[in-house]
Structure 1
Amino acid sequence: MTLKLGIIGYGGMGGWHRKNAARVDGVEVVAAYDIDPARVEAAKETGLKGYYTLDSFLADPEINIVLVATPNHVHKELAIAAANAGKNVIVEKPVAISIREVDEIIEAAEKNKVLFTVHQNRRWDKDYCIMRKAVESGMLGDVYNIESRVHGSGGKIYGWRAVKEYGGGMLLDWGVHLLDQILYMYPENKVVSIYAQLFSVLNPGVDDYFKILMKLDNGVSVQVEVGTFCLRSLPRWYVGGNAGTLTIENFEGKGGITRVKKLMEEVEPEMVETAAGPTRTFAPQPVEVREEIGLPEANPDWTDFYRNVLNTIEGKEELIVKPSEVRRVFSVMEAAFKSNELGRSLDVNL
């Protein structure tokens, strides 16, 4: 079959999907709807059918799958309308602005027997896939700490993403991606505690910096951090294991791994003088103990998201971004918002 994709919300992400979804054999972008007539005209100029009302868009029999790419606060109503019209549904992240809304979308999709998924495309990010491959292959030994962060320096949040009522803020914008990456990596492990701090540094009313600390039931400590006004950046990934440490500097996947050939207790300890005074515990390891190795190779493709949706509808594959996983991510985000509101860590089972 061919997926005939109709886009609701022909803004920046809607245009991005038009270009990228069409790269997949078996996927054709055919139509767009927007409340702004100028965006409808822009869609028509690219060869799409343009609709000025939601009803006329959903009545198009050619459309068999709908992408919702609007501001966050209207995701739920549009996704449910599409499901009720018998269309398969993809929603841009975050899927909604509350766990209750997530459940309503899932219920509508199940009731109408249509596919529902969310565009969590950063499961296919190169840096993430490299990090995950290094961890799961045992290159770092037993991992105990994962730090995931995105730092920007501009400070300004633009458009509706700077408005709380529209579902703005960095936790909903970027946090949903970074949390999804971690939870997708540990599907069988529960989050047992969470502590979050959210700040409005330069953008009143929404969080433009946040830090989340989570502990998993396998003992792994996770830190997720996003800031829009960080004039000096830390690595995209910093991962520690009992046999090595990994750093990845950026989305391109540049970085490396430092490992030890033998543990320090197997090396004769030596007292050294440092600027902080004498130390044995924090003395640098002898050169012969350490080794620097390269990162594993990974070359994912964001368009695999659409291929999976197509293959799932055809019964050839299992859906990668499952509604239950989307719901889990949102439950963790809601716990983070609550932790910040209460100003303390929460014991959870998520």
Structure 2
Amino acid sequence: MLTVAYIGFGNSVTHYHLPYVEKKKEKIKVKYIYRREEDRIGDTERETWYPNYTFTSDIDTIMDDPEVNLIVINTPDAFHVDYSLLSLKKGKNVLCEKPFALTKKAAEEVFTLANEKGLIATANQNRRFDADFLTVKKVIDSGVLGDLVEIESHYDYFRPSIKENKRMGFLYGLAVHPLDQIISKFGIPIRTCLDCRSIDNPGISDDYYDIDLFYDNGFKATVKTSCYVKLDYPRFIVHGKKGSFLMPSLGHNSNKKYKPGPIVLAEENYPEELWGTLSYINDAGEDNYLKVPIESTDYGAIYENLIAAIEGKQEKIVKDIEVLKVLEIIEDGIAVAKEAKE
């Protein structure tokens, strides 16, 4: 049995963890949710939605409980490493929200301690299990596109108010996911090319990025975000030597509306107009054009892997080298953004 304590109680926990964990009660028990006392002021009603969990502001309560064997860290980014190290020192396995750390060096410190302790520490790169990305992987793995030439990953907005943003953060908050998706599928790139900057506040923000990752045989993956895109691009564009695949945007999670109370997972039934579009030439030389149904999101998959990894039955699905490479690219991107000029 995986017995879990969460550190933090923000949207990440209530939207992307608890609804999936609740479906696995035969394997996973949520025992605690730790919140700092100052974070609970005026916000205790939400705690009543989860009567089976113990809410506490005493960190030692969860760290000293021998039943707890996994700490899930969902705090602001600056506290990720400190809580990860504390948990490992207390003999707990760790699942940490993105970004796993703010520097590659700090992440290496966490992984080193985990290895010394014989524990699991990994990043919650849950976007590997997004419906759209799983659909793209299904098409690529089918082989109908032939040798891949390029893939573009777009996560765009139309937010002219971004001109008021005068701080770094987009690379850590957004790029971390599509970069991980690409690296999880295609591996560590041979080289990268980074255009990271701000349209309105160059040198001050990183709210525009266009990152190219180059692989063998001329294959290139592009990860891009802009806040000045009024008409949606496809979420993914994939071109191969035998065909192409377009995966539409399914909309931003931040735009979804929820009623008060625990998030209940609804069955995903995407209309056909949101299905992917596939066109390819088959081995007989015939032209094929079809719509591809969308796979189902499963953020609970990482917990299944954690259970097996802790029991020594599987390797971690999110590998240390992948986490470190993503952080390295982000650090390089921030350096480029800081150097940007008008």
TM over 0.5: yes
Give yes or no for contact 1:124–1:300 (8 Å, CA) kept in 2: yes
After superposition, residues 1-350 of structure 1 pair within 5 angstroms as 2-16=1-15, 17-24=17-24, 25-35=26-36, 36-38=39-41, 42-43=46-47, 46-47=50-51, 48-154=53-159, 164=167, 169-187=169-187, 189-199=188-198, 201=200, 205-251=204-250, 254-260=275-281, 290-295=287-292, 298-299=295-296, 301-342=298-339
Question: 1:209: Cα distance to partner?
Answer: 2.5
Task: Compute the RMSD of aligned alpha carbons.
Answer: 2.9
Question: 1:41: Cα distance to partner?
Answer: 6.8
Structure 1 letter corresponding to 2:5: G
Is the deviation greater in 40-49 or in 76-85? 40-49
Distance in 2 between the 1:198 and 1:329 partners? 18
Is the deviation greater in 12-21 or in 294-303? 294-303
Give yes or no for contact 1:10–1:40 (8 Å, CA) kept in 2: no
Aligned residue pairs, count: 311
Question: 1:301: Cα distance to partner?
Answer: 2.0
Give yes or no for contact 1:201–1:209 (8 Å, CA) kept in 2: no
Length-normalised TM-score, structure 2: 0.81
Change (3 A) 1:228 1:54: farther
Percent identical among aligned pairs is 26
Where in structure 1 are there 5+ consecutive unaligned residues? 263-287, 345-350
Query: CA-to-partner distance for each residue in 1:57-78, whole Å, 9 max, x for gaps?
Result: 3123332110000111110001
Distance in 2 between the 1:338 and 1:139 partners? 39
Distance in 2 between the 1:209 and 1:145 partners? 21
Query: CA-to-partner distance for each residue in 1:196-233, whole Å, 9 max, x for gaps?
Result: 22216489954332221222233211211123442211
Question: 1:170: Cα distance to partner?
Answer: 1.9
Distance in 2 between the 1:244 and 1:12 partners? 39
Is the deviation greater in 75-84 or in 301-310? 301-310
Distance in 2 between the 1:54 and 1:40 partners? 18
Length-normalised TM-score, structure 1: 0.79
Query: CA-to-partner distance for each residue in 1:146-185, whole Å, 9 max, x for gaps?
Result: 100112234568xxxx785xxx622111211101111111
Is the deviation greater in 248-257 or in 301-310? 248-257
Structure 2 letter corresponding to 1:43: E
